[in-house]
Copies of this chain bind each other. A is one copy, B any other.
Amino acid sequence: MDAQFAIAIVGGTGNLGTALALRLAAPGVKVIIGSRDAQKAQNVVATLKSKMRAGELVGMTNQEAVKQGEFVLIAVPYDGHEQMVKDLKGQVAGKVIIDAVVPLKKVRPFVPSAGSALQEAQQILGEEAPVIGALHNISAVDLGEVDSPLGDVLVCGDQDDAKQKVMEIIRRIGARPFDGGPSGNAYVVEGLTGVIIHLNRKYKSKHGSIKITGVNA
């Protein structure tokens, strides 16, 4: 992977997108927050910059953001997932898509008809770009507090080169990536966030996450 690279976070003005932006921005990594509304993206960037220690962060429309990123991270609520991926189609050849979207009905996980959000995205994009599922299970709260330790990250997908690149990005933000298997395993990793949401509510926490034990990655 190039020492210098850019990640576009589309629909990146929400909790997860902004928290990821803070973690990802680092020397050699340019983070581009995309939004339907360029002004909104720029406003979010202005707020985030006060919390940043290093790295380059800019805001623009989703379409412009995608042009500049080698990686395109989707961090929208599931309701907006299908449309977002359709908007990407035709714009992302040669890029790697990182899908962090969790299918939820209110607070409960469910299995979408394609099998998972990852598979839904891959069906829409076809051969245009590999879709790798990752970063579902990490608390946005912990991501946003740059000194909080992060949980482990299960990474799913069918294209090994792309998966390895995404695992390298996860190492850069200080989390431990595990190869979680093919796209057919993604429904589990996505759904796990729904179980963690339940745990947070049940046990009154905001920091629920998971660690993999008994395995050396």
Chain A residues in the interface with B (C-beta under 8 A): 108-111, 139, 142, 151, 154, 178-182, 184-185, 187-189, 191-192, 194-195, 198-200, 202-203, 205-217
- 15 other contacts beyond A151-B214, A181-B202, with CB at 8 A cut-off? A108-B181, A108-B184, A109-B184, A111-B187, A178-B199, A179-B202, A181-B194, A185-B191, A188-B195, A189-B195, A191-B191, A203-B216, A203-B217, A205-B216, A210-B211
How many angstroms between the C-alpha atoms of A195 and B180 in the bound complex? 6
How many copies of this kind of chain does the complex include? Answer: 2
Q: Which residues of B contact A206 (CB under 8 A)?
A: 214
Q: Which residues of B contact A213 (CB under 8 A)?
A: 151, 207-211
9 sample A-B contacts, Cβ–Cβ < 8 Å, listed by A number: A139-B214, A180-B199, A181-B195, A185-B198, A187-B191, A188-B195, A207-B215, A209-B213, A210-B213
Q: Which residues of B contact A202 (CB under 8 A)?
A: 179, 181
Contact of B205 with A209 in the complex, beta carbons under 8 Å? no
How many angstroms between the C-alpha atoms of A215 and B206 in the bound complex? 8
Give chain B nearest CB distance to A152 CB in angstroms. Answer: 9
Give chain B nearest CB distance to A182 CB in angstroms. Answer: 8
Contact of A142 with B214 in the complex, beta carbons under 8 Å? yes
How many angstroms between the C-alpha atoms of A111 and B190 in the bound complex? 14
A203 — nearest CB in chain B belongs to which residue?
A: B215
A199 — nearest CB in chain B belongs to which residue?
A: B215
- Identify the interface centre among A151, A182, A210, A214: most chain B CB within 10 Å of its CB: A214
List the 10 closest A-B pairs by CB distance, nearest first. Answer: A207-B214, A188-B191, A181-B198, A211-B211, A208-B215, A203-B215, A205-B215, A208-B214, A199-B215, A209-B213
Give chain B nearest CB distance to A113 CB in angstroms. Answer: 11
Contact partner of A195 (CB less than 8 A), chosen from B111, B154, B198, is: B154
Contact of B212 with A210 in the complex, beta carbons under 8 Å? yes
How many angstroms between the C-alpha atoms of A110 and B182 in the bound complex? 12
How many angstroms between the C-alpha atoms of A207 and B212 in the bound complex? 10
How many angstroms between the C-alpha atoms of A207 and B214 in the bound complex? 5
